[in-house]
Amino acid sequence: MAAVLADVDDLLAEVAEAPMWSLSDGTLPEVLVAAGTALARLQGLLVRLVGEVDSRELATRLGASNTAALARERLAMTPAEASELTAVARATRRDMTATGQALAAGRIGYRQAAVIVRAITSLPDEAGPDVRTRAEEHLIAEAARFDAAELTRLGRHILEVVAPEALERIEGARLARDEHRAAQRRGFTMIDDGHGLHWLRGRLTTGTAAVLHAALDPLAAPMAATEGGRDLRTPAQRRADALIELARRMLTSDRLPDHGGQRPQLVVTVPLRTLTDGLGHATLDDGGILSAAAARLLACDCHVIPAVLGTTGQVLDLGRANRLFTGALRRALNLRDRGCAFPGCQRPPAWCDGHHIVSWAVGGTTSLDNGVLLCGHHHSVVHGDNWAVRLAADGIPEFIPPAWIDPQRTPRRNSRHRPPDP
């Protein structure tokens, strides 16, 4: 083959020097077609050679990272050209031999072959081998009439031509597969940037995104502003405001399920002086900090639950009249413990249960001075590992470890949710 190609190269060199003026008007078109056929044959041979290099994994033995890299190096191709050539070589060697044979025979050009390979490999898995074979044969036949660009358009709708009876089934299966994959990849995160903003990042399926759009669009519509009757907010700001308004309306409705023993709510701890004088700051139940102005704005449109706080922040008095740790009593536990009270735990109030320090079964009351917040894990630890719980003189829960952990049984408390005493 090397000798034959050397002879071909010599003949092409000779032809290249031949004067074009000597060709008659009747002969020139024939020579043009012949040159095109010869070029297609040479391109077909190049594809076969690249396929052979790939099947032998020769590129790595020659120091290249892969076959495309070798083609890029030896044939002075761009990365895109080399990748396409390798893809065509693999496809025509393995599954699409009819395309490879048509290219080798000069019946189609390399660009047409690349389009056919791309169209067939893009078919969904549900198409099956029979449909793929029919689609390949149809595009090879159409290549006699259409160039690569027109073949590309035909390839996008090939199933409508070769398998109209199966198109609905194939598209339905593809959509179901895509929707399942999208549902598995859905997610939503909120990240605090530490400077007063939270980054929202997430992915929704097509259907759930449509639900969110339908809910947000009416709330995100421009409304009259103070300057010239125009809404000065950007579209992004309007959507952000709409999302918060949607959440606000749900929080004030009766349609959300209970969360952590009570109706979902935003809990903001605000010293009385902050509300009256605009001094200091407020604290959210997740540890976030609000300015006095923001806290006073929230207080304008909410149910204010008064709580008398001591100098260290513990709850001293809060209305409560419920046998279970719910409602006002649960809010009192949340304000005092701020999360799981077990030493070292950082779980928030919503993840916690109300635990009776003196068991209800032996006469303990459901009251603030007999309750403590514990996450599920530490609730089990306290019940099973003989930890004792008590309220210290300042009203903060203390945990006394069993002797096998600390022979001195030194009381411990959680400093994660509040700064240590000075």
For position 300, what pLDDT does the model report? 47
Residue type, 285: D
Cα distances from 371 to residues 34, 197, 338, 396, 416, in angstroms, run: 94, 35, 13, 11, 19
In this structure, of 12-26, 145-159, 341-355, 395-409, the range with the lowest mean pLDDT score is: 12-26
> What integer best gives the mean pLDDT of the chain?
79
Confidence of residue 422 (pLDDT cuts 50, 70, 90): very low
Confidence of residue 258 (pLDDT cuts 50, 70, 90): low
Domain boundaries, the chain: 22-181, 206-224+231-256, 259-304, 319-422
Query: In the structure encoding, which two tokens stand for residue 367, read together?
Result: 């009251």
**What global pTM score does this model have?**
0.43
Runs of H (alpha helix) within 252-390: 272-277, 292-299, 327-337, 376-384
DSSP per-residue codes, 150-204: HHHHHHHTHHHHH-HHHHHHHHHHHHHHHHHHHHHT-EEEEEE-SSS-EEEEEE-
Kindly calculate the radius of gyration of the chain based on its CA atoms and give it in whole angstroms.
Answer: 37
Confidence of residue 297 (pLDDT cuts 50, 70, 90): low
Q: pLDDT tens across 201-232, in order?
A: 899 887 888 888 888 888 888 865 444 557 77
Query: In the structure encoding, which two tokens stand for residue 57, read together?
Result: 């994994």
CA geometry: angle at 357 spanning 351 and 359, to 5°? 105
- Of 124, 52, 123, 61, the closest CA to residue 93 belongs to 52
Please tell me the distance from the alpha carbon of residue 87 to that of residue 98, in angstroms, as a whole number: 15
